Structure 1
Amino acid sequence: MTTQRPFVPPEPRIGVLGSYGGLNTGDEAILTCVLTCLRAHRPRARLVVFSRDAEHTRAHQPLADEALDWEGVPHRTLLETLSGLDLLVLGGGGILYDGEARRYLRLVRAAQLGGVRTFAYAVGAGPLREPDDREAVRTVLSAMDEVVVRDEESRLVLEEAGVERDVTVTADPALLLPPEPFTARMMAAEGVPAGARLVGMSVREPGRAAEHLNEGDYHALIAGVADFLVRRLDAHVVFVPMERQDVRHAHAVLSRMAAPDRGRILNGAYSPGQVLGLMRHLDLVVGMRLHFLIFAALSGLPVLPLPYAGKVFDFARRLGAPTLVGVAREQSGLLLAELDRLWDEFPQRRPELVARVRGLQDLARETGVRCGALLDDLDDLHGRAAQAPGPEREKSLLAVDEV
């Protein structure tokens, strides 16, 4: 009598597609957290990152088994790689916006047509007004196994674009990033004085994802905020670039300050974990970049978001932070009043901030649970196919390949 051996599912090949490759510290934080989650659920899975700079990803993402360029690569080559996947994970991060959405979704659609399961991992959406991008979003997201977005604003954007399916709202994957050391020696190398009160600031460039920013207005506004904090708190201001372009805009703000000698712009190249570790040196944070604000919140700092887009406004609301509307010079008085109130009241507010951050972290973990459930479903399909007798087994295996 032959004893049937228990079925052991094959280890899956999982692709991860996003704006990766060292272009943005926040996106790299997301990739680290997505890969960590996938590795925890499937320790021996083959993790393939589709990157905009594969060399950077290979050097900085040790959890990735492969990193492949997807821009400027022959379509046939990409199709061959996509067809060998069991699952393609889109995101996370804000990638579904005008001019970019259709580019990412072209790969997702190719995977779907090749029978690959697809999962949107806490993505961000908006603005979405271009007809081609809206059509791509409607078509591709409707065919995905599950769509998870990181905030309510993104869900509303997808609904307005015509997506008619269940969309789950969780939170940004970077809320699960662990800190790495940012030492006193590193601070000294950046010219930041020891023992001083420090305010962290983050600025960004205008563009498709920040279409309402006016350079002159917001540079002057933030310079005024920085000078106010220098006087009010006897502080030094540390500008933290999250993208290369941020450096130029930080210099533009510094040049408009009345006390530019009290400002420093970080020049080193740091990992997302190190930027998170930097937060322990700061006393207050004012910023535009979403992940700069997330890192500050994870560190329990008083945070004043400057909402240039819906995703920042949404995060401020969920955090219980002041929810200013937009970044414009006429808001200067309101902004300074909020800063005053935030600094004075933060000792009483801090327990609520900590509780809200924990709640957001629980939501961020839920995305991983949902993705893991899809992987378990794939195992069940393979298992049923392997256990089917004779010809039925061959039919089942063919059906699994066609899913």
Structure 2
Amino acid sequence: MTIHPSSSPSLSPSPARSPLRIGLLGSYGGRNTGDEAILMCVLSCLRAHRPDARLVVLSRDAAHTRTHQPEADEVVDWEGVPQKPLLDTLAGLDLLVLGGGGILYDGEARRYMRLVNAAHERGVPTFAYAVGAGPLREGDDREAVRTVLPEMTDVVVRDEESRLVLEEVGVDRELTVTADPALLLTPEPFTEQMMRQEGLPTDTRLIGMSVREPGRAAEKLDEDDYHALLADVAEFLARRLDAHVVFVPMERQDVRHAHGVLSRMSAPDLGRILHNSYSPGEILGFMSHLDMVVGMRLHVVIFAALAGLPVLPLPYSGKVFDFARRTGAPALVGVAREQAGLLLAEVDRLWDEFPRRRADLTTRVRGLQGLSRETCARCGFLLDSIDGGAAGPQRTADLHLHDVVTPSAP
């Protein structure tokens, strides 16, 4: 409609909208390098779409997040705190972003779903940002996921394994599969001085290795069994390639398990453990010093693939198996001592054949990065709908994705 000056001589300018307040809820502040990498990438995505937005991170350790995530404008503790201030924080958001990363599993899913449901009750739209799911066997977690997830504005999962888990639970809604947000992480320099401080040789090959603790997300691991298996692999690589093995901890508990593997090696002097604290970007930068990676931690495997290294994922869970499949890496069926012969044969073949596989890995990783950008774009479309884009300026708690963006095939 055209408004003529004669019919409306004194038009007041529209009041400026306040910057959006966007909350991020995930396994942040838990001192896991992979989760921190995810948070960095999600914050970067949101900042790119809304430079003036107020980014509010709900953290397990607010002090840690404030120190290590400078893109966050506010950080709020959400564990062991009074509920009213936390619920007031949720009520003041324009959007709650759940994830990314593997957060929907037994013992944890119900806690995240409780906060997402509280956001829904306060009229706040919600977006699941490439989350991972499974295992989900406990009744309370399954029920929470089955009832709350369908009410979210959009749900994006990071792999097919997660979609299958959620479908098995009974989640009745469209689920879009993209890829892990950390695939868009930018490397930072890991300098020669850092190498010297870690006592790492610079005149020999270095093989990266990642171990982890058994637990709910890795419930099938037998500690003694896989320590012995990885000791066999480390010994083989050190001698086969005239190399040193460097253990890359992603959590504090990983250091103990790295020592467990070293203690079973007949030549532990050929192994080292990174002891200092590094940012996710620096760990990604460290990959440039390595010649090969054998990894249990998903994000060590992701970082190795980003660096274009030959990488053998050790699939203790579906998410690692799924990433191995998507990158064309050898996809073993488990981590058990009786599989030592198969594992050694695979790692030997990987080293010999990688020059021919390199171009294929590069192509596959670029494709996964494109899927990671798709998650960011979908979140951007939702933000547009909230602050005056496709759906207008009103609150959009009951907005469904087809009103925001046409879904693309996973």
TM-score > 0.5 by shorter chain = yes
1:332 counterpart letter in structure 2? A
**Distance of aligned partners of 1:79 and 1:192 in 2 relative to their CA distance in 1, 3 Å threshold:** same
| 2:319 paired residue among 306, 311, 317 | 311
1:161 counterpart letter in structure 2? V
Q: Is residue 381–residue 400 contact of structure 1 (8 Å, CA) maintained in 2?
A: no
**Distance of aligned partners of 1:383 and 1:141 in 2 relative to their CA distance in 1, 3 Å threshold:** closer
Match of 2:304 in 1: 296
1:302 counterpart letter in structure 2? P
Between the aligned partners of 2:178 and 2:155, the Cα distance in structure 1 is 11
| 1:341 paired residue among 330, 340, 349 | 349
Using the TM superposition, name which of 189-198 and 268-277 deviates more: 189-198
Between the aligned partners of 1:199 and 1:298, the Cα distance in structure 2 is 16
2:24 counterpart letter in structure 1? V
| 1:225 paired residue among 233, 237, 255 | 233
Between the aligned partners of 2:103 and 2:341, the Cα distance in structure 1 is 34
| 1:179 paired residue among 159, 171, 187 | 187
Between the aligned partners of 1:168 and 1:102, the Cα distance in structure 2 is 21
| 2:364 paired residue among 351, 356, 366 | 356
| 1:117 paired residue among 118, 125, 133 | 125
SS in 2 for 1:207: coil
Q: Does 1:31 align with 2:39?
A: yes
**Distance of aligned partners of 1:139 and 1:71 in 2 relative to their CA distance in 1, 3 Å threshold:** same
Q: Would you tell me which structure has more helix in proportion to its own residues?
A: 1
Using the TM superposition, name which of 156-165 and 7-16 deviates more: 7-16
Between the aligned partners of 1:37 and 1:380, the Cα distance in structure 2 is 19
1:372 counterpart letter in structure 2? G
Q: Is residue 7–residue 383 contact of structure 1 (8 Å, CA) maintained in 2?
A: no
**Distance of aligned partners of 1:330 and 1:400 in 2 relative to their CA distance in 1, 3 Å threshold:** closer
CA RMSD, Structure 1 to Structure 2 (Å): 1.5
Aligned-pair CA distance for 1:23: 1.9
Match of 2:177 in 1: 169
Q: Does 1:194 align with 2:206?
A: no
Q: Is residue 245–residue 271 contact of structure 2 (8 Å, CA) maintained in 1?
A: yes
Report the count of equivalent residues.
391
Match of 2:85 in 1: 77
Aligned-pair CA distance for 1:345: 0.7
Aligned-pair CA distance for 1:329: 0.6
**Distance of aligned partners of 1:44 and 1:157 in 2 relative to their CA distance in 1, 3 Å threshold:** same
Q: Is residue 122–residue 150 contact of structure 1 (8 Å, CA) maintained in 2?
A: yes
Q: Does 1:147 align with 2:155?
A: yes
Aligned-pair CA distance for 1:75: 1.1
How do residues 1-400 of structure 1 correspond to structure 2 at under 5 angstroms? 1-3=9-11, 5=13, 8-380=16-388, 384=392
Aligned-pair CA distance for 1:342: 0.6
**Distance of aligned partners of 1:272 and 1:366 in 2 relative to their CA distance in 1, 3 Å threshold:** same
SS in 2 for 1:327: coil
Q: Deviations over 1:1-60 (max 9, x none)?
A: 133536754321000000111420000000000000000000000000000000010011
Between the aligned partners of 2:215 and 2:83, the Cα distance in structure 1 is 28
Match of 2:3 in 1: none
Aligned-pair CA distance for 1:258: 1.2
1:117 counterpart letter in structure 2? P
Between the aligned partners of 2:361 and 2:396, the Cα distance in structure 1 is 46
Aligned-pair CA distance for 1:402: 8.8
Q: Deviations over 1:228-277 (max 9, x none)?
A: 00110000000000000000000000000011000001100000000000
**Distance of aligned partners of 1:165 and 1:88 in 2 relative to their CA distance in 1, 3 Å threshold:** same
**Distance of aligned partners of 1:401 and 1:319 in 2 relative to their CA distance in 1, 3 Å threshold:** closer
Between the aligned partners of 2:238 and 2:210, the Cα distance in structure 1 is 16
Between the aligned partners of 2:381 and 2:392, the Cα distance in structure 1 is 16
Gaps of 5+ in 1: 386-396
Aligned-pair CA distance for 1:379: 1.8
Aligned-pair CA distance for 1:360: 0.2
Between the aligned partners of 1:6 and 1:67, the Cα distance in structure 2 is 32
SS in 1 for 2:208: strand
Between the aligned partners of 2:82 and 2:204, the Cα distance in structure 1 is 53
Between the aligned partners of 1:401 and 1:344, the Cα distance in structure 2 is 54
2:253 counterpart letter in structure 1? Q
